[in-house]
Amino acid sequence: MPPERGHGTFGAEVSPAAETRARWSEIAALYERFAGCVSAAAWTEAATLLARADLLVRAVAPLDAGRRSARTPAEAAEWAEIETLACAVVRQHARVLASAETARDGAAAALARSRAGRNDAARYRRPIASEAFFTSRTV
């Protein structure tokens, strides 16, 4: 679904506030799925989800201008709710980023351990077959 302005049912145009709320809700859902991908180490899907979230964040910026043009108290209250949702998404983003960094650090530590294991194994090799010492029991 492209991040362009959408239209509601029967071609009626969606209000900027409703569209902004839908975008922030979709971004929140993408971050939830991203967190699942991080815990499952599904990095390809995680990259796709973040690319989509980035597109949506860029699409929200122009819509946010509608917040300043709220004319009625009801519109102002709706924009305040959207602001609360946006702040929650920003906090969620920070949590997801921290979990991704933790997963990255864990993967780096595992790689370092396996490299150390390979280096240790390389130093303690079996003797080459040509170096074998043969004896005879015949006297």
Question: Given this model, what pLDDT does residue 10 score?
Answer: 45
Question: Given this model, what pLDDT does residue 122 score?
Answer: 59
First to last CA, the chain: 88
Q: Has residue 108 been placed in a domain?
A: yes
Is the pLDDT at 8 greater than 60? The verdict is no
Q: How many domains does one find in the chain?
A: 1
Q: Has residue 28 been placed in a domain?
A: yes
Q: What is the arithmetic mean of pLDDT over 36-65?
A: 87
Give me the residue label for tokens 């702040």: 87
Question: Given this model, what pLDDT does residue 107 score?
Answer: 77
Residues 79/17, Cβ–Cβ less than 8 Å: yes
The CA distances from residue 102 to 3, 27, 51, 95, 106, in Å, are 31, 22, 20, 11, 6
Question: Given this model, what pLDDT does residue 38 score?
Answer: 87
Question: Given this model, what pLDDT does residue 24 score?
Answer: 93
Its domain, for residue 80, covers: 14-121
Q: Has residue 72 been placed in a domain?
A: yes
The model carries a pTM of 0.66
